[in-house]
Amino acid sequence: MKRMLGVAILLCAISASGVHAKGITERAVPVPQTVSTELQALIGNGPLPWWNTHPRTAQEWKKWVGELAKEAAATLPALREKMGVTVADGTMNGVRTFTLTPKTLAANNRDRVLLHLHGGGYVLNPGEAGTLEAVYMAGFGGINVVSVDYRMPPDFPYPAALDDALAVYRELLKTYPPEKIGVFGTSTGGGMTLALVLRARAEGLPLPGAIAPGTPWTDMTKTGDSYFTNDGVDNILVSYEGWLQDAARLYADGHDLRAPLLSPVYGNVKGFPPTLLTSGTRDLFLSNTVRMHLKLREAGVVADLIVFEGMSHAQYHMAADAPETAFHFTELSRFFDRHLK
């Protein structure tokens, strides 16, 4: 149940037409005994059977995504109850949003807000299905979170998702000073968090007080060591040649994958707000994360990095009772508390 909650929401879940197998080399890597039993259980699972889904048409993409979203959303009421969080469906500046409110709002967070950008390769987790991470953050952090239900391909490729994120950020600026706004997200949401700062700066907007891109997709090309070293080791994404590569091309819609608003590791990050990045030693996006961290540090940005032992892609929100989950979101909460005014 715990595994299926995070896995279903973050990535993909069903057999569909258009699936074919890519042979991956089986690598006997022992499960580390240096992590919690909950994380050991996640690490010990084999590669997800649907990592290599390849929808061929717009209809197949929509069917796959829609069935997944329905399954994922069904798991969220129990998680919200567990975390003491309520959700409100609304609209900001013409964009659908979900506002996650903790039953206990920390006193120091009463005039702060976090903007959440969900993961899913720019194609997955529409609607309420994209709020998993926001539920955890609101609950562990005792802070209000606005999650953006941004538009996605096949109907709305780049730059629709970023346009929507920026529209909501503009709306929040009408109510909150920028130094009281934090932005976070995992995977695609992490890459979008970084791209949002690039876009906001280019349009002359004040930057948020702090950002927390978790295992961010900072390079949409297959560039970076861990795309190769963790191929077949990461049991969530498994390989760039699975659905991930198709999603990159679908979202980019013919644009250069190395364009900074698609792959922010190639952008100018001088003057970025304080940043906390997170990854795992088995994460296919480990290099995406550490390359971004180094680039930020080289630019003089306050940038911290957490790398979890043994963890594949984004497993810090795939088991509600894992100590690593509590640690991750508690660290995010402390980070935002230090840097938001």
pLDDT tens digits for range 276-315:
999 999 999 999 999 999 999 999 999 999 999 999 999 9
Which position has the token pair 């950020």? 169
Strands 145-148 and 113-117, by their bridges, are parallel
Confidence (pTM): 0.93
The predicted structure's pLDDT at residue 236: 95
Task: Tell me the mean pLDDT in the region 137-143.
Answer: 98
Model confidence at 155: pLDDT above 80? yes
Return the HEC string of the chain.
CHHHHHHHHHCCCCCCCCECCCCCCCCCCCCCCCCCHHHHHHHCCCCCCCCCECCCCHHHHHHHHHHHHHHHHHHHHHHHHHHCEEEEEEEECCEEEEEEEECCCCHHHCCCEEEEECCCCCCCCCHHHHHHHHHHHHHHHCCCEEEECCCCCCCCCCCHHHHHHHHHHHHHHCCCCHHHEEEEEECHHHHHHHHHHHHHHHCCCCCCCEEEEECCCCCCCCCCCHHHHCCCCCCCCCCCCCHHHHHHHHHHCCCCCCCCCCCHHHCCCCCCCCEEEEEECCCCCHHHHHHHHHHHHHCCCCEEEEEECCCCCCHHHCCCCCHHHHHHHHHHHHHHHHHCC
The predicted structure's pLDDT at residue 290: 98
| Most confident of the ranges 3-12, 67-76, 192-201 | 192-201
Model confidence at 21: pLDDT above 90? no
Model confidence at 12: pLDDT above 50? no
The predicted structure's pLDDT at residue 28: 77
The predicted structure's pLDDT at residue 25: 58
Which position has the token pair 């049991």? 235
As a whole-number percent, the residues of the chain with pLDDT over 90 amount to 90
The predicted structure's pLDDT at residue 49: 78
State whether the Cα torsion 99-160-312-224 is positive or negative: negative
Model confidence at 6: pLDDT above 80? no
Mean pLDDT of the chain: 93
2-11+35-339 CATH choice from 3.40.50.300, 3.40.50.150, 2.40.110.10, 3.40.50.1820: 3.40.50.1820
Model confidence at 69: pLDDT above 80? yes
Model confidence at 26: pLDDT above 80? no
Model confidence at 121: pLDDT above 50? yes
Model confidence at 83: pLDDT above 90? yes
The predicted structure's pLDDT at residue 308: 98
How far is residue 219 from each of residues 28, 98, 186, 257, measured CA to CA in Å? 28, 28, 14, 8
For residues 14 and 166, the model is more confident at: 166
Model confidence at 31: pLDDT above 70? yes
- How sure is the predictor about 157, in pLDDT bands with cuts at 50, 70 and 90? very high
Q: What is the pLDDT of residues 228-287, one digit of tens each?
A: 999 999 999 999 999 999 999 999 999 999 999 999 999 999 999 999 999 999 999 999
The predicted structure's pLDDT at residue 48: 80
